[in-house]
Structure 1
Amino acid sequence: MRRNLLLHVGQAGAVFFMAVLGLVDLNSGMGVGSSLDLAPVQVLSAVATAVVWLPAHRQGSTRLPKVAMLLAGFSLLLTIGIGVFGGGTGASFGSAEAVGLLGVLFVVTRRGDPNWAVPAVLLTGIAIGFLPLRGGLTTTYVIAGLALGLAATAVIALGVYLRTIESTRKRAMDSVRSEQRAEFARDLHDFIAHHVTGIVVQAQGARFIAEQDPKRVMLALEQIEAAGAETMASMRRMVGVLRDPNAQPDAPLAPLAGVDELGQLLESFTNQGDVLARLHVDGSTTGIPVEVSTSAYRVVMEALTNIRRHAQGARVADVWVRRTPDWLLVRVANDGAPPRAATPREAPGYGLVGLTERVRAVGGRITAGPGIDGGWVVDAALPLDQEVTR
């Protein structure tokens, strides 16, 4: 929200600055002295630039560079009309339009589709560099054109820099999401393989004792039914979860840490530093679906790791686990200072991105932010029944 507010304030300031430049252009006699009365057209061209760069554009837009090329082409034709056929105005060439075209150049470089952005940037840059020729071919206007060309180069460099940062961050986030979903799939693979193996063993045992003790067969069938139902529920949840195509299906089974292991996790966390970790459990932890239990464990583990790294001055970390009829609610809070926002040059943390992907994979949701009484709070809601999220 703060970022959007700053963006809107910046846009409003840029529009105001263009308006002031436009008044200066008109006051200096823009269009006066030329045999062609094109001053209203120049004003319209300056307004058109604001219409292009002011709205928010999606990344990779093809419409944006196409519109920019039309606007730059029109500006070039106007320059030719005034500077060549009109003999030059000898006054202001339209500094408001120049600033507007620089804004268009930045937005196209930052957001435009790469295939269309390159010709759009070239054409817009030429239009900006030739703009002062509307005033004439004197040394002053030629120098002004060179200065605008340098400004256009700087704007392009800034747009490319910000675009590269965003692209790198997006690739990193996609990689984290993919790794998290693959890890989740492997956890479920281990769990399902474990239960299926148990089902097979119990079925084989039931076949051998069927004639000797029929009552034990009924018990084995009940266990097989329960294990099969839990396995099928986990398989339904696994639909849509990305898998690693290189993962080995016969990998050795690994024990899955869940809610019941949180006590050991918090004890180990407390023993490793100066922060006291306390666990509060409300409700029974038996019968929780394995993917929900392991996801809750990962949420707490990642939150505690972030406390160790980023919560300066933290003394206490409280972990609440509450079970309702439909949800498992997890909260991790600390009393330290909230982490400062990372600058574009700093390597951002992607732990929360991975957690968000894992929680969403089981149909849950997660939030993180400053607490009401200070510190930092991570809240996760994990559905015990997939139907509650539909």
Structure 2
Amino acid sequence: MHGLLRSVWDEPRPPGAPRRVWRDWALVGLLTLAIVLEGILRTDLLWRPLSIVYPLVMLPTLLWRRTSPLACFAVPVVTTGLIQHLTGADPAEMHSMAYMVIMLYALSRWGSGREMALGLGLITAAVTTSTLTGQIATIPGQLAASDVIGAFTVVFAAFALGGVFRYRARARARELDQVKLLEREQLARDLHDTVAHHVSAMAIRAQAGIATAATHPDAAVDALRVIEAEASRTLAEMRAMVRVLRRDRAPGGGEMPELAPNPHIADLEQLAGRPKVGPAVEVLIDGDLDGVPPSVGAAVYRIAQESVTNARRHARHATRVEVRVSADDASVRLRVSDDGDSTATRPAPAHGYGLLGMIERADLLGGTCEAGPNPGRGWTVTAVLPRTPKHDVSPRTA
């Protein structure tokens, strides 16, 4: 119990309390009109001048109810109590003073734990004092139990409502933080998949250029051109990732268009070809691929891209890499195999983020991904993804 009270006492103010906006000024204007009309139209006011002037003087404190909730609440409560004690007059006899309930709500919604405890104690003392002196009696001089219950009901209802919205906002903030973490995890995988692919290609071209520079200068120049192109693409994708993380907006306030890379199965043709150094890549696509969700298409491309990169990097004596995609009504299947030396050591899935990322992508979509040596020669990566993914983890919807 002591720990619970200590945690409530040490509760900080919620972040992001909004300052004055036009709605606050409109509220003050409407309440001003209501106070003046009530003061003119009511005939049962005992202290008419005081009952009109006092609410108008206290009303502007509403404008600071979010940034200084305890002070804005304590000033009218303490001032009302002092006037009642010193003069016997009731400056809060008009119904328009009900705007104090808004301040009580704001204290519970935006105040710290200490401020909430002090404010609750202050209003409880004020209501208790008014009960004992008969200030809250519906019929003067005749205090009923319903008056006491009604006063405390209003107080605790307003306080509870503020607490509900306070912790609801906190839960929402936690959900948003979780979404941001998941998005950054997704972007980290994309960053590795796209940039690592280009960097690996640059490293291979650089090695080829060094090996052929002495005997074939033209080949070295061609390697430098490829490295330049790959570096440009890598830089463009890095900038796109940074813009996504910073949540930049286009000029005029619009959303930035298509910042995160989102390839599809059709883009696998870009992996095909016979480079001057390394195995040739052949891409075969068959089956009905219409209607494949973007998340599944992106995952198939990324897994294939990473598998081809690994084959070029680690498949010794490989001459060919085959990328085959097939689909039926239930799933999309990807098979990437090479004819390299299967006895050569290759990284296990637990080592490095590349293979781990492939397995994680497939698992997030409700599929599977396996990698291992072939019975005879070579290495194969197989992925099976459902056409209806379990979770949509595409960059645009993460």
TM-score normalised to structure 2 length: 0.49
1:100 aligns with 99
Q: Does structure 2 conserve the Cα–Cα contact (< 8 Å) formed by 1:69 and 1:120?
A: yes
The structure-2 alpha-carbon separation of the partners of 1:41 and 1:29, relative to structure 1 and needing over 3 Å to count, comes to closer
Q: CA deviation at 1:125?
A: 4.3
Within 5 Å, give how 1:207-356 maps onto structure 2: 207-239=210-242, 257-258=262-263, 267-268=291-292
The structure-2 alpha-carbon separation of the partners of 1:259 and 1:268, relative to structure 1 and needing over 3 Å to count, comes to closer
1:180 aligns with 183
- Work out the CA distance in 2 between the residues paired with 1:66 and 1:269: 55
Q: CA deviation at 1:66?
A: 1.8
2:45 aligns with 29
The amino acid across from 1:124 in the alignment is I
SS of the equivalent of 1:268 reads: coil
Q: CA deviation at 1:266?
A: 6.0
Q: CA deviation at 1:130?
A: 3.9
1:81 aligns with 86
The structure-2 alpha-carbon separation of the partners of 1:154 and 1:267, relative to structure 1 and needing over 3 Å to count, comes to same
1:171 aligns with 174
- Work out the CA distance in 1 between the residues paired with 2:161 and 2:263: 47
Q: Does structure 2 conserve the Cα–Cα contact (< 8 Å) formed by 1:22 and 1:96?
A: no
Aligned equivalent of 1:67, options 60, 69, 72: 72
Deviations 1:121-153 (A, max 9, x none): 432343355446364884427753442122111
Q: CA deviation at 1:97?
A: 5.8
* Structure 1 unaligned spans of 5+: 32-38, 244-255, 271-350, 359-390
Q: Does structure 2 conserve the Cα–Cα contact (< 8 Å) formed by 1:109 and 1:156?
A: yes
Aligned equivalent of 1:196, options 186, 190, 199: 199
- Work out the CA distance in 2 between the residues paired with 1:40 and 1:134: 22
Q: CA deviation at 1:120?
A: 2.4
1:162 aligns with 165
The structure-2 alpha-carbon separation of the partners of 1:166 and 1:199, relative to structure 1 and needing over 3 Å to count, comes to same
Q: Does structure 2 conserve the Cα–Cα contact (< 8 Å) formed by 1:209 and 1:216?
A: yes
The amino acid across from 2:102 in the alignment is G
Aligned equivalent of 2:60, options 51, 61, 82: 51
- Work out the CA distance in 2 between the residues paired with 1:46 and 1:182: 54
- Work out the CA distance in 1 between the residues paired with 2:188 and 2:291: 28
1:205 aligns with 208
The structure-2 alpha-carbon separation of the partners of 1:210 and 1:135, relative to structure 1 and needing over 3 Å to count, comes to closer
Deviations 1:272-302 (A, max 9, x none): xxxxxxxxxxxxxxxxxxxxxxxxxxxxxxx
Q: CA deviation at 1:71?
A: 2.2
- Work out the CA distance in 1 between the residues paired with 2:104 and 2:40: 23
Q: Identity, % of aligned pairs?
A: 21
The structure-2 alpha-carbon separation of the partners of 1:220 and 1:265, relative to structure 1 and needing over 3 Å to count, comes to same
Q: CA deviation at 1:177?
A: 2.5
Q: CA deviation at 1:29?
A: 3.3
Q: CA deviation at 1:30?
A: 2.3
Which structure's CA Rg is the greater one? 2
**How many corresponding residue pairs?**
243
Q: Does structure 2 conserve the Cα–Cα contact (< 8 Å) formed by 1:68 and 1:124?
A: no
- Work out the CA distance in 1 between the residues paired with 2:24 and 2:71: 24
The amino acid across from 2:45 in the alignment is G
Aligned equivalent of 2:154, options 151, 156, 169: 151
- Work out the CA distance in 2 between the residues paired with 1:141 and 1:135: 12
Q: CA deviation at 1:204?
A: 1.0
Q: CA deviation at 1:191?
A: 1.4
Q: CA deviation at 1:170?
A: 2.1
The amino acid across from 1:67 in the alignment is C
TM-score normalised to structure 1 length: 0.50
The amino acid across from 1:52 in the alignment is T
- Work out the CA distance in 1 between the residues paired with 2:262 and 2:174: 29
- Work out the CA distance in 2 between the residues paired with 1:98 and 1:6: 19
Q: CA deviation at 1:200?
A: 1.0
The structure-2 alpha-carbon separation of the partners of 1:159 and 1:218, relative to structure 1 and needing over 3 Å to count, comes to same
- Work out the CA distance in 2 between the residues paired with 1:49 and 1:94: 14
Q: Does structure 2 conserve the Cα–Cα contact (< 8 Å) formed by 1:49 and 1:100?
A: no
Q: CA deviation at 1:94?
A: 0.8
* Structure 2 unaligned spans of 5+: 1-20, 247-260, 269-287, 295-391
SS of the equivalent of 1:211 reads: coil
User: Cα RMSD over matched residues?
Assistant: 4.3
The amino acid across from 1:220 in the alignment is A
2:117 aligns with 118
Q: CA deviation at 1:114?
A: 3.9
Q: Does structure 2 conserve the Cα–Cα contact (< 8 Å) formed by 1:129 and 1:148?
A: no
The amino acid across from 1:50 in the alignment is L
The structure-2 alpha-carbon separation of the partners of 1:121 and 1:265, relative to structure 1 and needing over 3 Å to count, comes to farther
